[in-house]
Amino acid sequence: MSDSSMLSERKKMILKAIIDAHIENGEPVGSKYLTQGGRFSYSSATIRNEMAELEALGYLEQPHTSAGRVPSEAGYRFYVDSLVERYRMSQAEAESLKAQLREKQAEIDGILDTAMRLAASMTNYTALAVRPRIASMSVKKFELIPVDQTSMVLVMVTAGGAVRTQNIVSQRPVTEEALRKLANLMNIRLAGLTGDQYTLPIMMELESAMGEYSFLVDPVVKSVCQIISGSSKGDIKIDGVDRLLSYPEFYDIGRLKDMLAMFERKDELLQLISGDTAPMMPSGQPDDDGVHVYIGSENPVILMDNSTLVFKPVKKNGKTVGALGVIGPTRMNYRKVISMIDDITNSISDVLDTPTLGDGSGNGG
């Protein structure tokens, strides 16, 4: 394909108009449509010539025998990189977003789930919430809450601000004082350490300090290690899969089944969004913290050749703690989706950066 710098302003205007129209109605766009309603003052012949040149340059395609054109992947890529305008949320949308996110500010899982549902609703595409793979996790606060004489709830606040809980059953009765003592010892000796730093000498020290309740140390620390191990694998949640049925691109039952199968596997999406397979942006620019857009065959994920994935990392105090994105047809409302994902993730980061986040307790994934 030719260098995009060869495109005149007229070609850019015509290409943008064609893509906007195709996104809206899903049909091939012809020169007659572009001359209607005073969209352009150029003659039909001039517009047809420009469309033919855009097709020759690889930005448009002519499906079957239709007189109209549709955007190619290269056309969509140029549109996203150079032509799309930013969608502005209304004040009501922005206030509603902040209010719903702040309801879940005590836990990263809750806020990501809420944001995922909002993204699906606000864009009408399938939304994703990702807790990325991490090499290690540390806990900044432990708490043990008694349920009855032999049952307790372990509460962990991670360094990333997430809250994890685990029910534990003891083989012997325990007192509330013993639970409080063990939690205090764990906060002194284990807080800030990763699981691979939990050494035998530390465990022996805890058991010695617990005296007659030394039997508590093993099941509690095992539960901590299980939670840390499970969280480090990463996780991806999906909402609004049924929204794909709103688009003709997914009417084909075989194609829809393939997409659903991909959602079931999840691993490929998790690798991509966690950064394992995406060191560069699709446009060839170095990876950054902005909105990532993978169009059609740019997607490293199998079975997404005719779809677009848009996502952005979620930051807490400058550290990536998750990601939010949407999947939809290549004929996506890029203007709205890119802006919405950007605005929602920025709002999440604003809420997560509040000083009180993670200081209390709550229930997490």
State the pTM of this model. 0.69
Between 73 and 357, the higher pLDDT residue:
73
Topology classification of domain 139-230: Enolase-like; domain 1 (3.30.390)
Whole-number average pLDDT of the chain: 82
Between 35 and 353, the higher pLDDT residue:
35
Query: What pLDDT digit, counting tens, does each position of 13-25 carry?
Result: 999 999 999 999 8
Average pLDDT over residues 224-243: 77
> Going edge to edge, which strands form the sheet with 139-146?
139-146, 151-158, 163-169
Please say if the pLDDT value at position 163 is more than 90: no
Was domain 4-83 assigned CATH 3.90.1510.10? no
pLDDT of residue 293: 92
CB proximity list for 55: less than 8 A, separation 6 or greater: 61, 62, 69
Percent of the residues in the chain that have a pLDDT greater than 70, as a whole number: 83
CATH 3.30.390.60 in the chain, residue ranges? 139-230
Residue range 91-133+234-352 forms a domain whose CATH class is alpha beta
Between 3 and 342, the higher pLDDT residue:
342
pLDDT of residue 303: 60
CATH 3.30.450.40 in the chain, residue ranges? 91-133+234-352
Distance, in Å, from the CA atom of 49 to the CA atom of 52, rounded to the nearest integer, reads 5
CATH 1.10.10.10 in the chain, residue ranges? 4-83
pLDDT of residue 185: 94
Between 281 and 290, the higher pLDDT residue:
290
Query: What pLDDT digit, counting tens, does each position of 70-111 carry?
Result: 999 999 999 999 998 888 877 887 777 777 776 655 566 778
Range from 183-187, 203-207, 305-309, 358-362 carrying the lowest mean pLDDT: 358-362
Q: How confident is the model at residue 58 (pLDDT cuts 50, 70, 90)?
A: very high
pLDDT of residue 252: 81
pLDDT of residue 279: 36
Query: What pLDDT digit, counting tens, does each position of 237-246 carry?
Result: 899 988 988 8
Please say if the pLDDT value at position 135 is more than 60: no
